Amino acid sequence: MNALAIPLTDESVDTVVANSVLHLISNPQKVLREICRVLKRGGAFICVDDVPGKVAETPYDNTQYLEVVNAFYREYWNRLGTHGIYPQKYSWKFDRNACCDSLFGKKTEKLIERNCAYEISLGDVFLPRMIGRGFSDQTNVPQGLHEKVIAELLSTFRQTYGNDFTEIKFRGIEQNISVTVYHKI
């Protein structure tokens, strides 16, 4: 469903979770108002943010992963650009805490301690999100054109990097995760 216009009645939901979503939405204030509207009194909004454009720091060499990700993304938009469609990026210029403090009665913070090494492949996150239009700047791309361009790119990248290019890995250190729980009272 579209978080900008949640198709649920007022005060009908116990808990809402937004993990790494608000920074990808054109109007996060509107989404927060929607979340508050559908939450029951006593309900909780559990929120974890990400930072747009954040470059993950890592002691590992991820050259090949980053090369493929950047090339795939660049080539996707090059091809859409020939159809007059360009990326629309949202920058996160709102103060989530100020906005939530005015909507919700109370908040608690929790820290999930991670600080551990992790490994993901292109097929784990980047490609499914790209293919599923999970990036904010893909939302206005017509589905038929999106599918055609993705099929062309997958074929080209298999030829260039091999059939198993989706197994190319990114290695990093996962930071601790800060979770905020807003309570509607």
- Given 12, 15, 20, 155, the residue binding ligand SAM (CB under 6 A): 20
Q: Which residue's CB is nearer to ligand SAM, number 34 or number 153?
A: 34
- What is the spatial distance between Cα 83 and Cα 23, in angstroms, rounded to a whole number? 27
CB of 88 to ligand SAM, least distance (A): 12
Residue from 131, 15, 144, 134 nearest 76 by CA: 131
Using an 8 Å Cβ cutoff, are 31 and 25 in contact?
Answer: yes
Segment 98 to 157, residues that bind ligand SAM, using CB under 6 A: 134, 136
Is position 29 an interface residue for ligand SAM (rule: CB under 6 A)? no
Q: Which residue's CB is nearer to ligand SAM, number 83 or number 129?
A: 129
Is position 25 an interface residue for ligand SAM (rule: CB under 6 A)? yes
Neighbours of 171 (CB within 10 A): 14
The count of chain residues that interact with ligand SAM, using the rule CB under 6 A, is 10
Is position 21 an interface residue for ligand SAM (rule: CB under 6 A)? yes
- What is the spatial distance between Cα 16 and Cα 142, in angstroms, rounded to a whole number? 29
Which range in 18-26, 32-40, 62-70, 102-110 contacts ligand SAM by CB under 6 A?
18-26
- What is the spatial distance between Cα 69 and Cα 151, in angstroms, rounded to a whole number? 16
Residue in the shown chain whose Cβ atom is closest to ligand SAM: 3
Q: Which residue's CB is nearer to ligand SAM, number 91 or number 163?
A: 91
CB of 119 to ligand SAM, least distance (A): 17
Residue numbers at the binding site for ligand SAM (CB under 6 A): 2-4, 19-21, 24-25, 134, 136
